[in-house]
Amino acid sequence: MTDSATSPDVQAPDVELETTGVATADQDTGEGEASDTDHDDDGLDTEQSGDAGGEDDGLDDFELDGKTYRVPKALIEGQLRNEDYTRKTQELARKAEAAEARDRAAKAQEEFLATHTEAVKANLADVAELKALEKTLAEYQSYPDWDRLQQDNPAEFIKQQNLWAQMRGQRQELQEKVAKAEETLGLEARKRADEARESAIKDTFAILQRDIRGWNKETATKVFDFAEKTGGYSRAELLDVATDPRNVKLLHLAMTGQQAINRERAAKKAEQSQRTKPANEVGAGAPNARRASDPSGDALATKAWMERRNKEREAGK
DSSP string, 13-28: HHHHHHHHHHHHHHHH
Quote the pLDDT of residue 47: 40
Can you give the pTM of this predicted structure?
A: 0.42
Q: 53 pLDDT exceeds 50?
A: no
Strand partners, 68: 63
List the domain boundaries for the chain: 69-211, 214-273
Report, in angstroms and rounded to the nearest whole number, the Rg of the chain calculated over CA atoms.
54
Which run of H or E residues covers position 269?
A: helix 245-275
Tell me the C-alpha distance between 33 and 102, whole Å.
84
Supply the angle between the helices 217-230 and 245-275 in degrees, to the nearest 10: 70
Got the DSSP string for 210-224? HHSTT--HHHHHHHH
pLDDT band at 251; cut points 50, 70, 90:
very high
Tell me the C-alpha distance between 296 and 304, whole Å.
14
pLDDT tens track for 199-247: 889 989 999 998 899 999 999 999 999 999 998 999 889 988 999 999 9
pLDDT band at 140; cut points 50, 70, 90:
confident
Contacts for 181 with CB less than 8 Å, ≥ 6 apart? 119, 122, 123, 126
Tell me the C-alpha distance between 245 and 251, whole Å.
10
Quote the pLDDT of residue 212: 92
Quote the pLDDT of residue 223: 95
Quote the pLDDT of residue 40: 45
Q: 194 pLDDT exceeds 70?
A: yes
